[in-house]
Amino acid sequence: MTLGQRLRELRDQQDISLREFARKLGCSAPYWSDVELGRRYASEDMLKEAARILKTSFLDLKALDTRPPLEELKRATAEDPRYAIAFRRLIDSKVSPEALLKLAGEAGQKKRP
């Protein structure tokens, strides 16, 4: 289950409409819809507030957030700008997460003796 799916499931269980939930969070309904559909990511503060409203644990929601830690990405791209170029090309070429994970696994296996 994705973070967005879990957020929607919890919201539906409490019978809170998308518009009402977005209003409680202080954001727009289209923005929150994008979060639930996995097209956007809520900030950590917004996710904490969503957890409070939905009466669930922030850590349980955070566990479903598959984004890599932002600081690690910033560090990697600062140390070697080619990472930023590679990430942009991946995004532009619409490489699926599954294909990227497969490629990373194959690259890791080639390095082993």
pLDDT tens, residue by residue, 68-91? 677 777 888 888 889 888 888 888
The model's pLDDT over 17-66, given as tens digits with 9 standing for 90+, comes to 999 999 999 999 999 999 999 889 898 899 999 999 999 999 999 989 87
CB contact at 8 A, 18 and 54: no
Largest CA distance in the chain: 56
Element (H, E) at 78: helix 70-79
Provide the CATH topology of domain 3-63.
434 Repressor (Amino-terminal Domain) (1.10.260)
For residue 112, the model assigns a pLDDT of 53
Nearest in space to 60 (alpha carbons), one of 70, 50, 73: 50
113 pLDDT tier (thresholds 50, 70, 90): low
For residue 48, the model assigns a pLDDT of 96
Give the whole-angstrom CA distance, residue 82 versus residue 112.
24
Residues contacting residue 100 through CB under 8 Å, at least 6 positions apart: 90
pTM of the model: 0.62
Nearest in space to 66 (alpha carbons), one of 97, 45, 88: 97
Q: Domain map of the chain by residue range? A: 3-63, 70-111
Give the whole-angstrom CA distance, residue 103 versus residue 97.
10
